[in-house]
């Protein structure tokens, strides 16, 4: 397996988050594992060749739980943002808006290439979607 980076998130209502991410942002369910209490112990959603993992917020005293907060715990701010490359950014933006996503940074053609926008999911996590290809060779000036 090649090395890769997969963002991991936690949600108070992970089932609702999975539904929203699939409906508004077009993620696909790859795997969802539930705990005995019905919480999401671990889930994997894909978008193209990318993947995110998520689970339910846990009320335990593990080191990870002690270091993790939700956006509403810190006045709706976020400490990081998942960036997702999409083929047709304008269409993705229109679809997300129509599905009820809260747009926090409007769609814009970027001066460095591509286009992008940012949206918050129902629990306040910020998602940036864009057509900029970070793997392309940088333009020389």
- Gap between the Cα atoms of 104 and 108, Å rounded: 12
What tens digit of pLDDT does each residue of 66-116 get? Answer: 778 888 888 888 888 899 999 999 999 999 999 999 999 999 998 888 899
- What is the token pair recorded at 92? 């993705």
Q: What CA–CA distances, in Å, run from 98 to 31, 92, 101?
A: 26, 10, 7
Torsion of CA 42, 44, 64, 11, to 10 degrees: -80
* Rounded-to-integer distance, Cα 68 and Cα 4, Å: 22
In this structure, what DSSP letter does residue 26 have? -
> How many residues does the structure list for the chain?
141
pLDDT in tens, 21-68: 999 999 999 999 999 999 999 999 999 999 999 999 988 777 877 778
Residue 74: what are its φ and ψ, rounded to 5°?
-125, 50
Q: What pLDDT does 102 receive?
A: 95
CA–CA separation, 127 vs 121, rounded Å?
A: 8
CATH class label, 8-67+77-130 = alpha beta
* pTM of this structure: 0.87
Tell me the domain boundaries of the chain.
8-67+77-130
- Given a contact cutoff of 8 angstroms between Cβ atoms, the answer to whether 11 and 41 are in contact is no
| Token pair of 141 as six digits | 């000036």
pLDDT confidence band for 140 (50 / 70 / 90) = low
């Amino acid at each position: 397996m090649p090395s890769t980076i997969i963002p991991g998130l936690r949600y108070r209502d992970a089932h609702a988050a999975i539904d929203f991410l699939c409906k508004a942002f077009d993620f696909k369910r790859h795997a969802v594992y539930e705990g005995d209490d019905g919480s999401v112990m671990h889930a994997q959603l894909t978008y193209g060749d990318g993947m995110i993992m998520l689970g339910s917020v846990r009320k335990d005293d593990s080191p990870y739980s002690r270091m993790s907060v939700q956006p509403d715990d810190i006045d709706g701010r976020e400490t990081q943002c998942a960036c997702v490359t999409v083929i047709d950014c304008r269409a993705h933006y229109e679809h997300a808006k129509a599905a009820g996503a809260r747009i926090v940074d409007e769609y814009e053609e970027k001066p460095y290439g591509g286009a992008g926008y940012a949206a918050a999911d129902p629990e306040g996590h910020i998602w940036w979607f864009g057509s900029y290809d970070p793997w392309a060779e940088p333009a020389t000036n």
